[in-house]
């Protein structure tokens, strides 16, 4: 696997664009289109939130169709909590895009992100579909920017793998820096938005399985604020243009493909944490020695969502007691008296007891770095998990105290 | 029931004191004692956190004793994550206090609050037990102050009820403004600390049941930051000195007593939210029309812990979409398309759809008030619940970015 500079248009046959439709008050780009030259198969994963945004509902219906060729996305408005009108508006976004591209509406998927509870300015969207089509290009300029909300930078990445003699490309772009605590279920219910494209030839069932494996250890392990969105969505389109022997079983090619997809998803997830609203630091929580994978994830996830710990890291204060308290609140039944905690490589808690005379100057210095790694060893088994987050700054509060006004 | 000015020493036979033992860097009072003239029965509830502070472990052991006469408490140090040494230190606090009072160590309960992972300065505590005893008085000066950490004010309250011809008093004091998200289990596992005293004559079993009923709708429904402490503890001592006919069944007297205890616990819980770290506003989330009480509580609790909503309220931004998103993330299976949301008395979401033309000037004005009430109606049944929290300010981040240093 090699990492290449790229994004959603790096794989063969994918084109993208982004325009300013006037949905965002800022006047920045807010409408985007992703298009495959040939029909592609799709897999997707959506939020488990009971309040599901209208684009999530419509995309779920359209996913019943076997082939898809486009995804239309707006930022600046979540089109959520808008009742039947919201559903109609999401469907209209898809229909108008489909008509312009000469496709059936069910071949178009739809996604939105932004404020909840405001009706979508559908006319602005309709009026800008022609410009969106004209803008479609192989360099996909603007796509990754158009899907941003409070993101400070675009997030995209691509990898290339060899399957037999064919080179297969997988590329992706994502957004999401607040209301970020995805918990997604495959084809059921995710405002992280992620768009992945690949020219791999693979069966629909296996693409779905592969995405399922990839999101569990990536997007579902990243959190900025613990607030699960109504709009989280992760889409993969696979158009088969790489010409590889179609993947129809969980053999070697499936494994290579899935490893690459996992890598891509994990790197994109980390970019989300790095660019978290108001973030000044990137934090990785590693849990090892857990009884099983689910327990490892629960503990890592719980520690990564501790407001107190995240404030301490913002302030460069190595207050690791908050790591212990958060782990203990995870609901996982581990033995505190066996637990070790490391800040970087400094052991601060050993078998449940504070390590006397540990180097507090070193931990204080470590906590002032841009990247903080915290490790817990539960000594109950061999399972491991990692969760990613960012520190909790005054700027986070500022950003989110004036979002709608 | 009448509300009276008072606290832990208002009930007959209770004395209290508080001194400066030098545990806190600030030099404020940090060691407190609560004492009953005669042996009392005790009921208690502790945190569910897997990391349990040493005083919690020791108090649990001592609760097996049938009678108790004192509770010794320190602030400034949680005595948690200190291994066997921590357990020994907590036991020593109880033993030294017991010896000075002429009691058995098992008649003394113990509680701590403060930083996790630092060893308790036991000599400072030992040396100040005599002063603590000398300070014992009927006005209990200093008790409520001595248990404070980042609290800005003491929290105490008392009520009087009539049981037959006897007047029974219940009084309480509590602390806790951060790492505050109690989830307590009776006699099992709660850094909210709460001390309640009563001169009621009641059986141990019924005191326990009554406390169980009281904490569910009070302390277990308050959250400042979603971080569950290792030290949360709620104690009730009942010494029987009111001379009422002993409560031995769940009849009329039990109901009157329990209603009063519930009221006291609820009012103390609200004081915790009002004085939350960095709080500028008090927030009440009311859920009605839920399928059952557990679901009502889950939704109310989840909304009350939304960082995004709490930042919006700090900024006076009526961004109610965050209420919907948080409710939907509660894990409760309600119908979003039937859900109503009110900000104060303004209906903003009706049957899952944003109410067009609702008075946004009024909601913006409402969100600038010191007290914000948000109501959700799920229209699934008749169950109701209330949860309390405070807004999320830059000051919260400031307080918690420099706690240990």
Residue B269 sits in the same domain as residue B337? no
For residue B242, is it within any domain?
yes
Residue B177 has pLDDT above 80, yes or no: no
Residue A304 sits in the same domain as residue A257? no
Residue B314 sits in the same domain as residue B250? no
For residue B205, is it within any domain?
yes
pLDDT in tens, A352-394: 999 988 888 999 999 999 999 999 999 999 999 999 999 999 8
- Total domains, chain B: 2
pLDDT in tens, A195-227: 999 999 999 999 999 999 999 889 889 888 888
Point out the catalytic residue in the list B47, B97, B149, B191: B191
Residue A166 sits in the same domain as residue A253? yes
The CATH number of the domain holding residue A371 is 3.10.20.340
Best B220, B321, B366 member to test A by mutation, with max A CBs in 10 Å, is B321
Q: What pLDDT score was predicted for residue A179?
A: 74
Whether B376 and B287 have beta carbons less than 8 Å apart is answered as yes
Q: What pLDDT score was predicted for residue B184?
A: 65
Share of chain A above pLDDT 70, in %: 98
Residue B56: both structure tokens together = 């919690």
The CATH number of the domain holding residue B231 is 3.60.70.12
Residue B264 sits in the same domain as residue B336? no
Residue B139 has pLDDT above 80, yes or no: yes
Residue A241 sits in the same domain as residue A350? no
Last residue of a domain, one of B274, B301, B327: B274
Residue B307, by phi and psi: left (phi above 0), alpha (psi -120 to 50) or beta?
alpha
Residue A185 has pLDDT above 80, yes or no: no
Residue B333 sits in the same domain as residue B199? no
A149 is catalytic: no
Q: What pLDDT score was predicted for residue A186?
A: 47
Q: What pLDDT score was predicted for residue A188?
A: 32
- Closest by CA to A169, choosing from A302, A3, A352, is A3
Nearest C-alpha of chain A: how many angstroms from B131?
30
| CB proximity under 8 Å: A 271-300 to B | none
pLDDT in tens, B217-227: 898 898 888 88
Confidence of residue B342 (pLDDT cuts 50, 70, 90): very high
- Closest by CA to A390, choosing from A307, A305, A279, is A279
Share of chain B above pLDDT 70, in %: 98
Q: What pLDDT score was predicted for residue B322?
A: 92
User: What ipTM goes with this model?
Assistant: 0.84
pLDDT in tens, A86-98: 999 999 999 999 9
For residue B405, is it within any domain?
no
For residue A304, is it within any domain?
yes
Average pLDDT on A147-153 reads 87
Whole-number mean pLDDT of chain A? 92
Last residue of a domain, one of A274, A307, A327: A274
Residue A149 has pLDDT above 90, yes or no: no
> What number of CA atoms fall less than 13 Å from residue B26's CA on the CB side?
13
Residue A219: both structure tokens together = 């997007």
A263 is in which domain, residue-wise? 2-274
Confidence of residue B403 (pLDDT cuts 50, 70, 90): low
Q: What pLDDT score was predicted for residue A129?
A: 97
Q: What pLDDT score was predicted for residue B404?
A: 60
Residue B313 sits in the same domain as residue B222? no
As a whole number of angstroms, the distance between CA B249 and CA A260 comes to 66
Confidence of residue B68 (pLDDT cuts 50, 70, 90): very high
Nearest C-alpha of chain A: how many angstroms from B277?
11
For residue A216, is it within any domain?
yes
Q: What pLDDT score was predicted for residue B186?
A: 47
Whether B89 and B122 have beta carbons less than 8 Å apart is answered as yes
For residue A405, is it within any domain?
no
Q: Which residues contact A221 (CB under 8 A, 6 or more apart)?
A: A269, A297, A300, A301, A304, A385, A386, A387, A388
- Neighboring chain B residues of A115 at a CB cutoff of 8 Å: 319, 321
Confidence of residue B237 (pLDDT cuts 50, 70, 90): very high
Residue B249 sits in the same domain as residue B318? no
Minimum CA–CA partner of B348 in chain A: A117
Confidence of residue B396 (pLDDT cuts 50, 70, 90): confident
- Interface check for A325 against chain B (CB to CB < 8 A): the answer is yes
Residue B264 sits in the same domain as residue B326? no
What is the number of residues in chain B? 405
Q: Which residues contact B60 (CB under 8 A, 6 or more apart)?
A: B46, B187
Residue B235 has pLDDT above 70, yes or no: yes
- Closest by CA to B79, choosing from B252, B229, B237, B236, is B229
As a whole number of angstroms, the distance between CA A342 and CA A351 comes to 12
Minimum mean pLDDT among A56-70, A122-136, B85-99, B389-403: which range? Answer: B389-403
Last residue of a domain, one of A248, A274, A300: A274
- Interface check for A254 against chain B (CB to CB < 8 A): the answer is no
| CB proximity under 8 Å: A 374-403 to B | 392-394, 396-403
Residue A49 sits in the same domain as residue A182? yes
Best B50, B287, B333, B342 member to test A by mutation, with max A CBs in 10 Å, is B50
Rounded to 5 degrees, what angle do the CA atoms A323, A326, A331 make? 140
As a whole number of angstroms, the distance between CA A147 and CA A28 comes to 10
Residue B399 has pLDDT above 50, yes or no: yes
Give A62 or B116, the one with higher predicted confidence.
A62
Residue A240 sits in the same domain as residue A308? no
> What number of CA atoms fall less than 13 Å from residue A305's CA on the CB side?
29
């Amino acid at each position: 696997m090699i990492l290449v500079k790229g994004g959603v248009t790096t794989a063969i046959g994918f084109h993208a664009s982004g325009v300013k439709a006037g949905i965002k008050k800022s006047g920045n780009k807010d409408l985007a289109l992703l298009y495959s030259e040939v029909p592609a198969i799709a897999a997707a994963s959506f939020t488990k939130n009971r309040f599901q945004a209208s684009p999530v509902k419509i995309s779920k219906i359209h996913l019943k169709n076997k082939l898809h060729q486009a995804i239309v996305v707006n930022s600046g408005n979540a089109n959520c909590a808008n009742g039947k009108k919201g559903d109609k508006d999401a469907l209209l976004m898809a229909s108008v895009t489909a008509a312009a591209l000469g496709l059936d509406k069910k071949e178009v998927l739809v996604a939105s992100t932004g404020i909840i509870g405001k009706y979508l300015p559908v006319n602005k969207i309709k009026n800008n579909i022609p410009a969106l089509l004209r803008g479609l290009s192989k360099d996909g300029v603007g796509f990754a920017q158009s899907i941003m909300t409070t993101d400070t930078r675009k997030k995209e990445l691509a990898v290339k793998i060899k399957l037999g003699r064919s080179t297969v490309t997988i590329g992706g772009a994502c957004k999401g820096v607040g209301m970020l605590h995805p918990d997604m279920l495959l084809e059921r219910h995710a405002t992280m938005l992620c768009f992945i494209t690949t020219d791999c030839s693979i069966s629909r069932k296996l693409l779905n399985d592969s995405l399922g494996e990839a999101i569990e250890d990536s997007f579902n392990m990243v959190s900025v604020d613990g607030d699960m969105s109504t709009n989280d969505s992760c889409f993969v389109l696979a158009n088969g243009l790489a010409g590889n022997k179609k993947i129809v079983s969980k053999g070697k090619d499936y494994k290579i493909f899935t490893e690459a997809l996992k890598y891509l998803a994990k790197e994109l997830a980390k970019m989300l944490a790095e660019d978290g609203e108001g973030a000044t630091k990137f934090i990785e929580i590693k849990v090892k020695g857990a009884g099983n994978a689910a327990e490892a994830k629960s503990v890592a996830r719980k520690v990564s969502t501790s407001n107190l710990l995240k404030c301490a890291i913002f302030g460069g204060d190595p207050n690791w007691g908050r790591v212990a308290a958060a782990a203990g609140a995870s609901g996982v039944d581990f033995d505190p008296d066996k637990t070790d905690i490391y800040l970087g490589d400094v052991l601060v808690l050993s078998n449940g007891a504070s390590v006397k005379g540990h180097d507090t100057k070193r931990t204080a210095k470590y906590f002032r770095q841009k990247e903080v790694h915290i490790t817990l060893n539960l000594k109950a088994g061999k399972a491991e998990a990692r969760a990613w987050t960012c520190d909790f700054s005054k700027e986070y509060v500022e950003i989110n105290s004036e979002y709608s006004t």
